[in-house]
Structure 1
Amino acid sequence: MSQSTRFEETAFHQAHQLLTDVIVTDILTPPVASRVYAYAHVAAYETLVAARPFSHQSLAGQLSQLTPPPVPTHRINPSIAAIEALLTTGRTMIFSEQMFDESSAKIWQSFVQKGYSPDTLALSRAYGRQVAQHILSWTTKDNYKATRAMRRYAPIKRPGMWLPTPPGYMAAVEPYWNRIRPLVLDSASQCRPAPNAPFSTAPDSPFFQLAKDVHQVGQTLTPEQTLIANFWDCNPFFLNTKGHLNFGTKKLSPGGHWLSIAGQVAAQTNADIMKSSAAYTLTAIALFDGFISCWDEKYRSNVIRPETYINAHIDEKWRPLLQTPPFPEYTSGHSVISSAVAVVLTHWFGDNIAFLDATEVPYGLPTRQFSSFKQAAEEASISRLYGGIHYRPAIENGQKQGQQIGEWVLQKIKIRK
C-alpha cells in the first residue's frame, strides 16, 4: 500500500471522527445521530463506487427511493471526492458549523501539505459536493422534517405506561421516529418483537419478578459488571445534579460507539478506503433501520421503566447505576442496534476477529478486548441490565429483533459485483 493511499485512508477516518465530534457537541439523540451517520456515509460510499463501477455495486435501487448519483465528468481522486461528500452531507445536518468548518479546513490543509495539486483537489471536491447534493435531496423525502413539527408527546398516565424519570424528568425522545422512512426495511414494524410480559403489581406475577430481578442485580454488582455498564452507557447527555446546580456531560451515542468499532477494525485489518467505507455504510444502515424498528416498538408497547416501577412497588429509595434514558423501556435500543451491527460487521470482516475497543478512552474509561463482534454486542446488551434500566425481555427480545434487522440488511444489500 502506497504512502499516499494510506494517507487518504487516514484522512477518511479523520473525517468520520470529525462528524462524531460534532454530533457529540450538538447532543444529537441516538436516532437523529444515526440519520446523520447513514446519509453521510452513503454519500461517501456512492462517490467511491461512481469511480469504481466495475467492482462495487451502487446502493441506488437497493436503498429506499435512492437513485443513481451523477457520474464524474473529469478525472478525479475518489478518496478526496468521498471525503468531501461525507463532510458536505454531514455539515448540512449538524448545528456547530464553525467547529465543523475549522476542523474540515485542517483536513484539507493536510492534503495541500502532502503535495496534492490544486486542480486535483478542486475537481475532486467539486464532484464530492455534487454527490452530496444528490444525497441531501434524497434526505428531504424521509419525513424527518414533518416529525419536527408534530405535537409534543404527552405521556399516557395509565398503570404500566412509561413516565419521565429522574433526575431531569426529560421529555420523551423521538416519539414519532417510526414515521421516518427506513433504508431497507419494508416498514418500521417489519421486525416487531414478541410482546413483553403483561404489566402487573402482584408479587407473584412475571412482571413483578422481572423488576425484582433488576433490583437484585443492581444491589449486587461486581466491579466488572459496573465497568461494563459504564463502558456501554453511551448517554449523549448525562445530567449532573449538585444541589440547585444542574449541568450536562456530553458523551458518545450508541451508534457512534459502534461506528468507532467499525473504524478501528478497518484500521486493524489494513482495509482500503473502499472496504472501510463499506463497513461504515453497512453499520450506519443497520443502525438507522435498527433505531426505527426499536422506536416503533417502544412507543407502541410504552413499557414503564424499572426505576419507576421499583420505586413504586419494591424499594422507593433504589436508584439504577445509570441514568434512565427518556423514552419507554421495551425493547432495549442497545440490544437491537448492537445485534444488528454485529451481524453486518461479522459478514464484512469475518467471524471471531479479536479487537481492542478504545472508543471510551476519551471519556475516562479503559480499553476493552473482545474476541468477536458478537461478544461485544452481547456485552453491550447485558450492560443495560447491570445499569438498571432494562428488564431481561427487552434485552433478549431486542437481540432477536436486531439479529433479524442485520440479516435483512445483508439480504437486501449487495456491495461487491
Structure 2
Amino acid sequence: MKKHLLYIASASLVFLASCNKDLPTELAFENYEFATLDEEGGNWKPILIASGADLEIPVPSETSSSEYQAELTQTKTAIQNMTPDQRKNLVKWTNNPVVRWNEIALELIAKYNLIPGPNPDGTYTLPNPATPDGPPAFPFAHPPYASRALAYLSVAQFDGLISAWHYKFEYARQSAYQVDPSIPFAYVEQQIPAYPSDGAVIASASRKILTAMFPLEAAYLEQKENEHLESLLLSGEFVKSDLDAGSKIGNDIAAIALSRASIDGMKNAQAPKAVSDSIANAAFERFGWKWTNLESPQRPVGLTPLFGKVKMWNVANVEATRPGIPPAPGSAEFEADVKLLKDYAANRTAERRRIANFWQDGLATYTPPGHWNDFANRFIVKYQLNTLRSARTLAYMNMAIMDGGVSCWDAKYYYHYPRPIQEIEGFETITGTPNFPSYTSGHSVFSAAAAEVLAYVFPSEADLVREWAEEAAMSRVYGGIHWSFDATVGTQQGKNVAQYTVEKARLDGAD
C-alpha cells in the first residue's frame, strides 16, 4: 500500500509562509487548458439556491461603449505598470484559484488545530466565537470543525460559479485581451466569456466564508482577496465590471451559505458537562458500558458530543445511517479483537508504523478531511478541471465528508464505546488517544466518504482512492487507537453516507 507515497512524490511541492504559520503544502502547477468548458454549466442544479439566475447582477455594458473602453484602458495601464511582486502573485494564483483558496483553508485549519490547554487551576475554558481572541483563541479546528468549514466553503464556491456560468453564456461578453489584442494574456486561452469573473466569485465567496470560520484571520483573508482580484485584472482577461459582478455573486452566495450555517446546530455541538454526562449515562443504561477520558488533567467534556445533531447536507435522518451495535466487552468477538490489537502492538513493523504516521493527521495538521482535500486538489490538476468542475468536485466531496462526520459522531456518542486503552490493561498507543468515544472511527468514515465521491468523479482512480481509504482506516488500528471493528464498520458507514451525496450529484445535470 505505497501508491499514495508514489503519487504524492510525483507532484512538485513548495512551501508557503504566511499567516504566521507554514502552509502544509502548496501544489505547484502551471496554467493549463481546461479539459471541458461546460457551456451548459449555468443550468446545473445548485445546492443552496434554486438556479444560477437567483443571484442577480447588472446587465453588462457593450464592449463598444465608452464605459467599457474606459475600463479597458484601466486594465491596460495596470498591466503596463505591473510590479515584480504583482507578477509573482499572477503566477501563484494560476487559472484555477479554486485550488488556491482550498489550500488557504487547509493552512488555517492546520494553524487552529490546537487543543485548548488547561488553566492554572486545572479547569478548561472553551474557545468562544463571541470572544475569538480568547484565551483560548477561536476556533479549535478539530476534524468536525474542519469538515464543516470546508463544506461551506466549497458549496458556496460551487453555487456561485453555477450563477457565473449562467450569466457568462447569457451575455457572452468577450475577455479584455480578445476585445483588444494588444493586451497580453497571462494564462492559457479558454473560450469562456468574461462577465462575470469566475475568479472574483471564488475570491469574494471564499474570503467571506473563511472569515466567518476563522474570525481572527479577517485582515489576512481580506489581503488575499485583494491580491487575487488584482491578479485577475492584471491577467488581461477582465475589466473592473467583470470583477465587480463576480464579487457580488460571491458575496451574495456566501451570505446565503452563512445563514444556513447560523442555524445548522454547530453552535450547540460542544455541549456543557451536564449534557455530556447525561449522554454517557444514557449509553451506560442502554448497553452497560461508557467511554472514559483517561487524560490528565481530564477535560470535563468529550469533543463535540452533539455534532451528531448538526444538520446534514444530503441525509434527512442521521439515524438512518447509524451502524449496528458493536461487540459487547468480554464477548468472543471482543476478545478476538483484544488479541489482534495486542499482536499489532507486539509486532509494530516499520510498514505499519509508516502507515499509522502517514494518516495520523493530528494536532497542527489539516486533519483527515484536509488530507482528502489535498488529494482532490491533485486530481483536479491532473485531470485539468475548469473552475466550475473543480468547485463541484470539492463541494460534493466535502458535503459527503461532513455528513460522514455527523453520522460518525452520532454513533460515537450513542454507543459511547470505550477505546482499547481503556479496556486493555497496560495498553499503549503510538500517537495518543483522542478525546471522544471509539466506535466508529472518524478517520474511517471521513476517508471512505471522500473516496466514494472521488471514485465517482474520477472513475479511473476508483481502486486507488478506495485502497487509500482502507489504509487510512487500518492506520488507526495499527496505532492502537481503535478496535478493528471501529475501522471496518466505519469504512462501510462512510460508503453508505456518501451514496446520498453521489446520488444527488448524478442528478445535477453535470454528467
Give the alignment's TM-score, normalised by structure 1.
0.80
The yes-or-no answer on 1:30 pairing with 2:152 is no
The yes-or-no answer on 1:188 pairing with 2:318 is yes
Query: What letter matches 1:164 in structure 2?
Result: N
Q: Aligned with 2:247: secondary structure?
A: helix
Q: Which residue of 2 aligns with 1:272?
A: 386
Q: Structure 1: state its 5+ residue gaps.
A: 57-73, 238-249, 354-370
* Rounded Cα–Cα distance in structure 2 between residues aligned with 1:216 and 1:399: 22
After superposition, residues 54-133 of structure 1 pair within 5 angstroms as: 75-97=195-217, 98-115=219-236, 116-133=238-255
Report the alpha carbon displacement of residue 36 of structure 1 after superposing the two structures with TM.
0.9
Report the alpha carbon displacement of residue 232 of structure 1 after superposing the two structures with TM.
0.6
Query: What letter matches 2:446 in structure 1?
Result: I
Q: Aligned with 1:352: secondary structure?
A: helix
* Rounded Cα–Cα distance in structure 2 between residues aligned with 1:412 and 1:319: 43
Moved more, 84-93 or 264-273: 84-93
* Rounded Cα–Cα distance in structure 1 between residues aligned with 2:311 and 2:467: 30
Q: Cα RMSD over matched residues?
A: 2.7
Q: Which residue of 1 aligns with 2:343?
A: 216
Report the alpha carbon displacement of residue 293 of structure 1 after superposing the two structures with TM.
0.5
After superposition, residues 3-402 of structure 1 pair within 5 angstroms as: 9-27=95-113, 28-53=141-166, 75-97=195-217, 98-115=219-236, 116-147=238-269, 150-151=272-273, 153-154=276-277, 156=280, 160-166=289-295, 169-170=298-299, 171-200=301-330, 205-235=332-362, 237=363, 250-311=364-425, 316=426, 318-352=427-461, 372-402=464-494
Q: What's the % identity of the aligned pairs?
A: 24
Moved more, 216-225 or 167-176: 167-176
C-alpha contact 2:315 2:403 (8 A) present in aligned 1: yes
* Rounded Cα–Cα distance in structure 2 between residues aligned with 1:25 and 1:272: 29
Query: What letter matches 1:181 in structure 2?
Result: K
Query: What letter matches 1:42 in structure 2?
Result: V
C-alpha contact 1:190 1:293 (8 A) present in aligned 2: no
Evaluate the alpha carbon distance shift between residue 125 and residue 105 of structure 1 in structure 2; reply closer, same or farther with a 3 A threshold.
same
* Rounded Cα–Cα distance in structure 2 between residues aligned with 1:326 and 1:47: 37
* Cα displacement string for residues 20-68 of structure 1 (whole angstroms, at most 9, x for unaligned residues): 1112212211111111111111100001111334999xxxxxxxxxxxx
Moved more, 2-11 or 33-42: 2-11
Aligned length: 362
* Rounded Cα–Cα distance in structure 1 between residues aligned with 2:292 and 2:315: 29
C-alpha contact 1:15 1:104 (8 A) present in aligned 2: no
Q: Aligned with 1:351: secondary structure?
A: helix
C-alpha contact 1:8 1:79 (8 A) present in aligned 2: no
Report the alpha carbon displacement of residue 149 of structure 1 after superposing the two structures with TM.
6.5
Q: Which residue of 1 aligns with 2:19?
A: none
Query: What letter matches 2:255 in structure 1?
Result: Q
C-alpha contact 2:201 2:250 (8 A) present in aligned 1: yes
Report the alpha carbon displacement of residue 148 of structure 1 after superposing the two structures with TM.
5.2
* Rounded Cα–Cα distance in structure 2 between residues aligned with 1:82 and 1:168: 43
Report the alpha carbon displacement of residue 196 of structure 1 after superposing the two structures with TM.
0.6
* Cα displacement string for residues 136-165 of structure 1 (whole angstroms, at most 9, x for unaligned residues): 112222122344565562384766421113
C-alpha contact 1:330 1:394 (8 A) present in aligned 2: yes
Q: Structure 2: state its 5+ residue gaps.
A: 1-31, 35-89, 114-140, 170-193
